[in-house]
Structure 1
Amino acid sequence: MSAYPEWTPSLIQAETDALKHKPGALLPILHAIQDRFGFIPQEAVPIIAAGLSQTRAEVHGVISFYHHFRAAPPGNHVLQVCRAEACQAVGSRALEAHAKARLGVDYHQTTADGEITLEAVYCLGNCACGPSLRLDDSVHGRVTPESFDALVDELRTQPLEIM
């Protein structure tokens, strides 16, 4: 069961219509769709393009350029490991290797049980407390392999909160 509601073309159209009059509307529209549905469905691209009088290639180009945007549904939880230099200096490379091994996935993949999608992020603004990660909307600092394991174990014992 997903933590996000199902998308429909009419809901994509509604998000597009609500924001298309803003300057530089494409990014706010993409963020709104991903925030609401967890990803930007490929089928949304022509709807957004038509609403903004842009080509599908222009919309797709922006989606594929920014690492933040997903083209597939995420797991019930999104776990982002900071890969910025400040976190690397205090052990984020070892943390990311541990995370990949523990979860059995690489970046931009979801665990077999559909619970956790692992992503890289290039700064969480928590540089003094690295290595850092963000789990859903919560930033954690000074993360060790042991504290990482505790976060994952806690996730898997909590009931899923439906958005």
Structure 2
Amino acid sequence: MQGNSSWDRQLVEKSIDSLKDKPGALLPILHSIQDQLGYIPSDAVPLIADKLNLSRADVHGVISFYHHFRSKPCGEFVIQVCRAEACQAMGSRQLEQTIKQTLGIDYHQTTLDGSFTLEPVYCLGNCACSPSIRVNDDIHGRMTTSKFSQLVDKMQTVAVEVQ
């Protein structure tokens, strides 16, 4: 579930309690919380630290070290632009600029309406179809600026229908 601006303490505690006795429990707990909330609330860090007998700095350090973890809610659509060499050779830098201009945001930002979050990624494993982007769990290869405009229009239509 993505885009929540509030978090559920009981859900976080349930995730911690169900996984805290596993060896190396911190990462599974963080994944569980993010899978359910879309991010790891900063107020959850002390809960995790206390239950695992870790310092808050240890927990925060893991969250900030791994790019996968978010500390604030993301948009309904998370757009990742591949920045690997194959995609760059096929025009991803120009595509990246168009995406930033179209959305009015830079990397690691979310649009004011909460629809889109933009993130860089360093390989989507779709090199033969460069340049590539991923929107949530869907990879789109051979992306062009016009294809991206059509995709954004489609996503905005979906977002309006959901509201």
- Asked whether the equivalents of residues 4 and 36 of structure 1 are also in contact (C-alpha less than 8 Å), the reply is no
4+ runs deviating over 4 angstroms: 2-6
The residue type equivalent to 1:9 in the other structure is R
- Asked whether the equivalents of residues 80 and 134 of structure 1 are also in contact (C-alpha less than 8 Å), the reply is yes
Partner-residue secondary structure (3-state), 2:7: coil
Output one character per residue of 1:43-64: Cα deviation in whole Å (capped at 9) or x when no partner: 0101111121111101100111
Partner-residue secondary structure (3-state), 2:162: coil
Within-5 A mapping of 1:116-127: 116-127=116-127
- Asked whether the equivalents of residues 20 and 29 of structure 2 are also in contact (C-alpha less than 8 Å), the reply is yes
The residue type equivalent to 2:162 in the other structure is L
**Structure 1 residue 4, shift from structure 2 partner:** 4.7
Structure 1: distance between partners of 2:162 and 2:79: 15
The residue type equivalent to 1:133 in the other structure is I
Structure 2: distance between partners of 1:66 and 1:143: 27
The alpha-carbon distance between structure 1 residues 84 and 20, as it changes in their structure 2 partners (threshold 3 A), is: farther
**Structure 1 residue 153, shift from structure 2 partner:** 0.5
Within-5 A mapping of 1:8-27: 8-27=8-27
The number of aligned residues is 160
CA-based RMSD: 1.7
Q: TM-score, normalised by structure 1?
A: 0.90
The residue type equivalent to 2:145 in the other structure is P
Q: TM-score, normalised by structure 2?
A: 0.90
Partner of 1:160: 162
Partner-residue secondary structure (3-state), 2:72: coil
Partner of 1:74: 74
Please list every run of 5 or more consecutive structure 2 residues that lacks an aligned counterpart in the other structure: none
Structure 1: distance between partners of 2:107 and 2:3: 20
Percent identity, aligned pairs only, is 59
Structure 2: distance between partners of 1:28 and 1:88: 34
Within-5 A mapping of 1:5-154: 6-154=6-154
Partner-residue secondary structure (3-state), 1:125: coil
Structure 2: distance between partners of 1:111 and 1:4: 14
- Asked whether the equivalents of residues 3 and 160 of structure 1 are also in contact (C-alpha less than 8 Å), the reply is no
Partner-residue secondary structure (3-state), 2:64: helix
Structure 2: distance between partners of 1:133 and 1:16: 33
The alpha-carbon distance between structure 1 residues 42 and 3, as it changes in their structure 2 partners (threshold 3 A), is: closer
Please list every run of 5 or more consecutive structure 1 residues that lacks an aligned counterpart in the other structure: none
Structure 1: distance between partners of 2:125 and 2:20: 30
Partner-residue secondary structure (3-state), 1:151: helix
The alpha-carbon distance between structure 1 residues 121 and 27, as it changes in their structure 2 partners (threshold 3 A), is: same
Structure 1: distance between partners of 2:116 and 2:82: 16
